[in-house]
Amino acid sequence: MPVIAVAHPLVRHKIGLLREADISTKKFRELTAEITRLLAYEASADFPLERTTLSCWSGPVEVEQVAGRKVTIVPILRAGLGMMDGVLDLMPNAKISVVGLARDHETLQPVHYFERFVGHLSERTAIIVDPMLATAGSLIATIDLLKARGCQDIRALVLVAAPEGIAALEARHPDVRCWTAAIDRHLDANGYIIPGLGDAGDKIFGTK
């Protein structure tokens, strides 16, 4: 099942608070970061470990560390930036790749305007972050870009997912797992998630 609804009580509590219509920009940002930390914890549960030996106060000791090259976090501009720090809190050495996509209000198709990827993508785990999985057009386009550059371990974190977007993601990229704090009812005629959060980018950046 590529889309995993994280059922942890703290996630359920915090996503509820995030739905408040008159929430302040500060509170929205704080809750977004807090939920993202919990999603990132879940999404990293199967990271491979390797053994190494270091000098402990009592002599050499064998310890475990996460194997392989550093993770790359991939925020989708703009709103994904609001989730970046939540992942960095758990993976402070992660590299950052950035994709700029803006959804056309008429067609709902993502319009690509920026990209900057770190190197060695074929050897890294990529964690895409974007609060809203609506039609999934933005997430699918980002996964397409990563796969075209050889990335093989692609994961995504979102705050709210719509059933329409989940179906589209599962059809196009069944190998990519996506952790979400909530699965909502449906999309409205304008492609907004119901009940959803409204425009997540505007809430994170304080625009509108």
CB 176 within 8 A of CB 169: yes
Start-to-end CA distance of the chain, whole Å, equals 37
**Backbone phi, then psi, for 199, in 5-degree steps?**
-85, 105
3-state secondary structure of 206: coil
Round to whole Å and give the CA distance between 144 and 129. 15
Q: Which stretch binds ligand URA (CB under 6 A): 14-22, 35-43, 119-127, 190-198?
A: 190-198
Task: Write the binding mask 67 to 86 for ligand PRP: x where contact by CB under 6 A, - elsewhere.
Answer: ---------xxxx-------
Q: For 58, how many CA atoms within 13 A lie in the half-sphere containing its CB?
A: 2
Q: What, of ligand URA, ligand PRP, none, does residue 82 touch, CB below 5 to 8 Å by kind?
A: none
Binding flag, residue 196, ligand URA (CB under 6 A): yes
154 forms part of the interface with ligand PRP (CB under 6 A): no
Residues 118-137 that bind ligand URA (CB under 6 A): 132, 134
| By the rule CB under 6 A, 15 interacts with ligand URA | no
How many Cα atoms sit within 13 Å of 75 on the Cβ side? Answer: 18
Closest CB to ligand PRP among 15 and 79?
Answer: 79
For 101, residues 6+ apart whose C-beta sits below 8 A from its C-beta are 76, 77, 110, 111, 112, 113, 138, 141, 142
Query: Is 195 annotated for ligand binding?
Result: no
Q: Consult the annotation and say whether 162 binds a ligand.
A: no
- The verdict on 80 binding ligand URA (CB under 6 A) reads no
Residues near ligand PRP (CB under 6 A) are 76-79, 101-103, 108, 110, 130-138, 165, 191, 200-201
Would you list which residues are annotated within the binding site for uracil?
A: 193, 198-200
Residues near ligand URA (CB under 6 A) are 132, 134, 191-193, 196, 199-201
